[in-house]
Structure 1
Amino acid sequence: MHDVAIVGAGPVGLFLACELGLAGCSVLVLEREPEPGSPWRTEPLGTRGLSATSLEAFHRRGMLDQLLAASGAEPVTSPETDAPQPPHIVGHFAGTVLDPAKVELGAWPYRLPTPAPEFLMTTLDAVESVLAERADKLGVEIRRGVTVDEIAQDEQGVTVHAGVQRYPARWLVGCDGGRSTVRKLAGFAFTGTEPLFTGYVMLAELEDPEKLTPGINLTATGTYLRLEAEGHLGMMDFDGGAFDRTQRLTREHLQEVLRRVSGTDVTLTGVTHASSFTDRAMRASTYRHGRILLAGDAAHIHSPLGGQGLNLGLADAVNLGWKLAATTRGQAPDGVLDSYAREREPIADSVLDWSRAQVAIMRPGSHTDAVQGLVRDLLATEDGTTYVFRRFTGAAIRHDLGGEHPLVGGNAPDFRFADGIHLGELMADGRGLALEFGTEDRLRGAVEGREDRLRHVGAPVRNDLGLGAVLIRPDGIVVWASDRGADPAGFERAVERWFGGPR
C-alpha cells in the first residue's frame, strides 16, 4: 500500500508527488495517457505563463535552473541590489496590456529581489519533464495508460480500481483536470456559473493572414487573438457556450466563427490542431471527502483569461503537499490538513471572479463598450496598474491565519544572507524555517526535537525589512513574525500549531 495515490500526471499532480516524495512518503501517480508528450503540451499550443509565485516555488525546491533550461530561457543571476526593483511585465486585464512603469513598489513593503523571474513563458511539456525527472529521483512511481473507473474508501485508506487492477493507498488526490474522474466517482459537488462564450484555439493555415491584426483584438462581435507562432489563433464567440467539446470541429465551422468575430473574410485553407473551451466557472463544494482530496482543475475550472489556471493549481499542490505528508507521518497537529481547503477555497473563488469579471468586460455590446472605456481609464492609473500586478503575481494573497503582524499569512520575502545565499535555497529540503536576524538565538529552544520538520537559522541578512525573526511553513507562508527589537511572544504557540510537538 502506498501512502498517497495521485490521479493525474500533469504539472499539479507531479509537483504534489515531488512534495510528498521529498518528505519521505511512498507515492503512486496514475495517468490515463500512455505517453507524456503531445502537440497540446509543446509549443505553441502547450504554451503557458508561470507567475512569480509559481517560479518562487520552483526556486525553493531547487528546480528553477532546470525549468529555465527546459523552457529555453536564460539563467537568472542573483540581483546585486537588496532593494525592490520595478517589474518588467504586468500582464493584461480583459485585453488591456498594462504599463510596468506605473507599478507603485511602495504598495507592499515586504518585497525583495529574488533569482526567480517575475514571469516565464514555458510549455506544459517543459514543466512536466522537470517535475517528472525530480519525482523519479525521489522514488515516486508513475504508471501511465491507467484509466480509473472506480474508487472505494474506508477509515484505513482508499482503493483505486482500473479494470482488473487495484491500487490501495492511505490517501488519494485527484489532480486529473476539469473533467476529473476522481471528483465524479467520489461524489464531490461541483457548482458555479454557466458559460457566456465558446473559445477556440487552433493551428491553421491562412490564405490571407494579413487580414488579421496581431495580438488581442476586441471586436463588435467577439474577440480574436493572432499569436506570434505562425497560424496560432484563438477566438471567443459569445454564443453562451453552445459549441462544446462533444461536437466535431471542422474547418468550415472554425472559418465561420473566425470571420464573424474578426469582421473579415479571412480564409482558412487547413487546420492542423483545434480545440474548444468555455468560460464555465465552477468549484468543488469542498476539497476533501474523507481520505480523498482534490487539487488543480479537478477542484476548480474557469476561462484561461489572465493565465491563472496553472498557477492556481501549482499553489494548491504546494499548500497541500507538506500538510498531507505531515499527516501521513503522524506529525501534523489537529486541523493542519483541514487548513488546505480553508486556505485554498477562498483563493479559488477570487480567481473565478477575476475570470468572470474579464469575460463580462469583453462581452460585445454598447453597454460593455462604455464599461471597457471606464476600466481602461482606471487601469491606466498607478493604483489600477498596481492592483492588477498584485493579482497577476500572487503578491496580493494573504491567508487569514490570525496573526497581528502584516506579514503573517503572506509569502515570505526572499531574504539574502551575507554570504549571498537566498532564503529560497534554505528551503530545498522541504522543512519549515525559524529565522532570527540577530545573534541572540532566543528561538532555538522551541525548535529542538522538531529538526526533522523545522530548521533554525540565526544570522544577519542584508536587508531584514525591519524584522527581527520570522517563522515560515514549508510552503513559504509566514505564520509568525516579529519586528526588530520586539519580544518574540507567540513564537512557541505558532510552532506547536503548525509543526506539532517534539519527537
Structure 2
Amino acid sequence: MNEQVVIAGGGPVGLWLAAELRLGGVSVTVVEERTDIDQRSKALTVHPRTIEILASRGVHEPFLAEGLRIPGGHFAMLEQRLDFGVLDTPFPYTLALPQARSEELLAEHALALGATVLRGHRVGGFTEDADAVTVQVQGPDGPYELRAAYLVGCDGTRSTVRTAAGIDFPGTPSTVLGWLGDVVLDHPPRPGFGVFGLRGGLLVAPLPGGRYRLVGISPDSLTTESPGELTLAELRAKVVAITGEDYGMRDPVWLSRFGNATRLASEYRRGRVLLAGDAAHQHFPTGGVGMNVGIQDAHNLGWKLAATVGGRAPAGLLDSYHAERHPVGAQLMEHSRAQTALMTGFTPEGLDLRSFLSGMIATQPGFGGALAERLTALAVTYPASDAAAHPLTGSRAPDLAFTGSGSGLHGRLRADGHLLLDLTGGTSGQDRGPENVQPRNVLADRARPGLTVHAGSLDRPPAAWAPVRAALIRPDGHLAWIGTDPDDTALAAAADRALALTHGPATG
C-alpha cells in the first residue's frame, strides 16, 4: 500500500497535520494504536493562537460553541493572572475544552477532507531508501507495510518513530511529581480559583458534565521516587492541607501524577522522517501549552510538506521546519523550567519571589503583556533570511480588517498557497486567483498557482501597518515579506523578488 505521507499518532497533532496535508492535495494515512479516543483528557486548554489557526481553516466555531471562555491565564500559578484582553487577537481568551472533545472535532475535520485514519494499528519501525520510507505496521489482522514519501512521528514522548530514526532526545529527568484529579465537587470554589502557599498550590477548572479538574503541586511533590497510583483519599488530603477543605469531592473519573522531565529532540527532521508535538518536546504542563505547541508544529509543517511532496517547494523549504520550530521548542523548555522553579518554591524566599513577580504583572502592563503573548504563542516570530527585511517579517499576521468587507485576514488564508495583499490603493476587496486575472492596483497581476492576490485597503490598521503597501503571507499566517516602498516600480520589483523565493520566477 502506497501513501504520500504516513503519520504515526492520531492525537490532536497528527490529526491537524493530516488535515493540512489533505488541504495541500497530499494523500495521508494516520496510524493510531488506540482503538478509541482516550476520554482521560491530558489537555484542557485551547490557547488564542490555536483558535486563530482553527479559524484560518474555518473550523473554529464548534470549539467556540462548546469551550468555556476564560479571559486570562496563569504564569507559574502566580496570584496575579495574565489578562488576555490586551492581546491583539479576535480570541482574547483560552477555551476550556477537554482534549477528548478537541480530538473528536479534529478527527471529523481530517476525515471529511479524505484522510485515512487506522485505529488499532501501531507503527513498529521503518526502513528508508533514497525514494521512500517503508513503514512496518502491526494491525489487528497481523503485520503489514506502508510505503510513503515521508513519515511523521506524532506519537508522543515515547515516540517509536523518533527512536527508530536514531534522533537524540536530550534533557533533564523528572524531579517533581504534580498531581491531578477529575472529580465531582459538591461545593466547588469560585470560578478561576487558585491558591499557592507553603503547603502547596492548587488550581480548579470546570469540566463538562458537572465535574472539575483539580491540579496541584505540594512539598511532597519534590521527589524522584514514584509513590504509586494516586488515590482519592490522597488527593483529598492534599487539597485539605492546601485549602482547609475538600469541596465535597467524590466520584473520580481520573486520578494521575505527572512529572517535569524536560527533553527536546536534537532534530525535527532526519531525511524522510519528521517529528511534531510531544515526539519532539517533553515538559512540565505549565500553562496548558503542550497540545497547542504541537498543533502549531503541525501547522508550520503541513504546508511545507505538502509543497515538497507536490514538487512545488523551493529549495530548503522542508529544512526550514526544524530551523523555525526547534527554537520554539527550546523556548518552551526554558519557559516550563522557569515556571517549575517558581511552582516549587515552598520557602519564604520562594513566596517572596512569587509575590514580587505577581506585583510586576499587576503594576507593569508591558511585563504582563509580554508574558501573555509568549504563553499564548502570539509572539512567535520566525527569523527572516534577509537582514534588511522589514521588522514585521516572520511574525504572525494579525487578523487585519478590510474596508467594506466583513471578513478579516485570517479567513482568507489557504493551506495550499500564499496570500499577497495589495494595499496600494484598491478598495475592491476581491481575491483573484490565476484563473481570473484582472490587473488592478500595482500587484494585482501577480496571481499564479499557489498564490492568491487580495487588493483592498485596511480598516483602522495597527500603527505598525500604517506604512505597509503590500505583504506576502504564508499559509500558516506568518509574514514572508513586507513592502513599504512608496515608489510603485520599486515596490513591484521587490514583490517579484519575494515571489521568486517562494514560488519561483514568473512564467508566461
TM-score w.r.t. length of structure 1:
0.85
Contact 1:102/1:382 (CA < 8 Å) preserved in 2?
no
Instruction: Pick the aligned partner of 1:248 from 220, 229, 236.
Output: 229
Q: Deviations over 1:308-329 (max 9, x none)?
A: 1111111101100000001101
Count of residue correspondences:
472
Q: Distance in 2 between matches of 1:367 and 1:468?
A: 52
Match of 2:420, as an amino acid? Answer: A
1:215 is the counterpart of 2:162 = no
After superposition, the Cα gap between the structure-2 partners of 1:328 and 1:432, relative to the gap in structure 1 and judged at 3 Å, is: same
Q: Secondary structure at the match of 1:142?
A: strand
- CA separation of 1:205/1:321 partners in 2, compared to 1, >3 Å: closer, same or farther? closer
Tell me the SS of whatever aligns to 2:360: helix
8 Å CA contact 2:197–2:351 kept in 1: the answer is no
Q: CA deviation at 1:222?
A: 2.7
CA contact (8 A) 2:8 2:153 kept: yes
Residues of 2 paired with 1:413 and 1:314: CA distance?
A: 19
Q: 1:205 to 1:460 in 2, by over 3 A?
A: closer
* 2-structure distance, mates of 1:389, 1:211: 25
Residues 341 and 459 of structure 1: CA distance in aligned 2, closer, same or farther (over 3 Å): same
| 1:227 alignment partner in structure 2 | 205
Please, which moves more after superposition, 377-386 or 136-145? 377-386
> Are 2:153 and 1:174 equivalent residues in the alignment?
yes
**Which of 349, 370, 377 lines up with 1:387 in the alignment?**
370
The letter of the residue matching 1:482 is: G
Runs of 4+ with deviation above 3 angstroms: 97-105, 208-214, 226-232, 237-241, 247-272, 500-503
Among 460, 463, 466, the residue aligned to 1:463? 460
The SS at the match of 2:383 is coil
Structure 1 window deviating more from structure 2 (26-35 vs 185-194): it is: 185-194
Amino acid at match of 2:443: L
State how far apart, in whole Å, the 2-side matches of 1:443 and 1:263 are: 66
Q: Residues of 2 paired with 1:193 and 1:340: CA distance?
A: 24
Q: Which residue of 2 aligns with 1:82?
A: none
AA in 1 matched with 2:57: R
Q: Which residue of 1 aligns with 2:441?
A: 441
Within the candidate set 146, 168, 181, 1:189 is matched to 168
**Is 1:102–1:385's contact at 8 Å kept on the other side of the alignment?**
no
Partners of 2:421 and 2:472 within 8 A in 1: yes
Q: How far 1:98 sits from its partner (Å)?
A: 4.1
| Structure 2 SS opposite 1:306 | helix
Displacement after TM superposition at 1:184 (Å):
1.8
Partners of 1:60 and 1:415 in 2: how far apart? 13
Give the 3 Å change call, closer, same or farther, for CA 268–481 of structure 1 in structure 2. Answer: closer
Q: CA deviation at 1:474?
A: 0.6
* 1:282 aligns with one of 263, 270, 282: 263
Matches within 5 A, 1:349-360: 349-360=330-341
Output the CA distance in 2 between the equivalents of 1:325 and 1:283: 25
In the alignment, is residue 412 of structure 1 matched against residue 393 of structure 2? no
Counterpart CA distance in 1 for 2:482 and 2:48 is 22
Residue from 330, 353, 369 that aligns with 1:371: 353
Give the AA of the match of 1:6: I
Q: Identify the residue that residue 477 of structure 1 maps to in structure 2.
A: 478
Q: What are the Cα deviations for residues 378-407 of structure 1, in whole angstroms up to 9, with x where unaligned?
A: 122212211122213323211111352121
Which residue number in structure 1 is paired with residue 495 of structure 2?
A: 491
Worse overlay, 344-353 or 402-411:
402-411
Q: Which residue of 2 aligns with 1:20?
A: 21
**Which fold has the larger relative contact order, with Cα–Cα distance below 8 Å and residues 6 or more apart in sequence?**
1
> Where does residue 504 of structure 2 map in the other structure?
500
Match of 2:299 among 318, 330, 352: 318
SS at match of 1:148: strand
CA contact (8 A) 1:302 1:352 kept: yes
Match 1:65 to one of 47, 61, 67: 61
Q: Distance in 1 between matches of 2:154 and 2:172?
A: 22
Rounded to whole Å, the distance in 1 between the matches of 2:313 and 2:184 is: 55
CA deviations on 1:14-68 (whole Å, 9 max, x unpaired) are 11101100011000001111013x3313xxxx56222221111111111122332
What is the CA deviation profile of residues 356-387 of structure 1, one whole-angstrom value per residue up to 9, with x for unaligned ones? 11111121123312211221221222122111
Q: CA deviation at 1:261?
A: 5.5
Letter in 2 for 1:408: T
The 8 Å contact of residues 123 and 136 in structure 2, kept in 1 or not, is answered as: yes
Q: Structure 1 residues 211, 433: CA separation in 2 closer, same or farther (over 3 Å shift)? A: closer
8 Å contact 2:79–2:194 — kept in the other structure?
A: no
CA distance in 1, matches of 2:251, 2:377: 40
Given that 2:232 and 2:255 are in contact with CA atoms closer than 8 Å, whether structure 1 keeps it comes out as no
What is the distance in 2 between the residues matched to 1:266 and 1:425?
44
5+ long unaligned stretches in structure 2:
427-439
1:323-358 Cα deviation digits (max 9, x unpaired): 000110111111111111110111111122111111
2:82, 2:361 within 8 Å by CA — same for their partners in 1?
no
Give the distance between the partners of 2:83 and 2:269, measured in 1 at CA: 42
**Matching of residues 8-157 of structure 1 within 5 Å:** 8-36=9-37, 38-41=38-41, 48-69=44-65, 71=66, 89-98=71-80, 111=88, 114=90, 116=91, 118-157=93-132
> Partner of 2:471: helix, strand, or coil?
strand
The match for 1:430 is 416
Q: 1:257 to 1:409 in 2, by over 3 A?
A: same
Residue 463 (structure 1) shift:
3.2
State TM-score, norm by structure 2.
0.84
Contact 1:21 1:140 in 2 (8 A): yes
Task: Name the structure 2 match of 1:400.
Answer: 383
Distance 1:99 1:202 in 2: 22
1:103-156 per-residue CA deviation (whole Å, 9 max, x = no partner) reads 767xxxxx4x63x45432222233222222221222110000012222221221
Counterpart Cα distance in 1 of 2:266 and 2:188: 47
Residues 310, 332 of structure 1: alpha-carbon distance in 2 compared, 3 angstrom cutoff: same
Give the distance between the partners of 2:329 and 2:257, measured in 1 at CA: 23
With over 3 angstroms needed to count, the CA separation of the structure-2 counterparts of 1:402 and 1:367, relative to structure 1, is same
Structure 2 Cα separation of the partners of residues 165 and 220 of structure 1: 55
Specify whether residues 149 and 373 from structure 1 end up closer, same or farther in structure 2 by C-alpha distance, changes over 3 A only. same
Answer whether contact 2:34 2:119 (CA < 8 A) is retained: yes
Q: Distance in 2 between matches of 1:366 and 1:97?
A: 16
Partners of 1:228 and 1:118 in 2: CA distance = 15
Aligned-residue offset at 1:225: 2.8
2-side partners of 1:231 and 1:315: how far apart?
Answer: 27
Q: Percent of counterpart pairs with the same letter?
A: 33
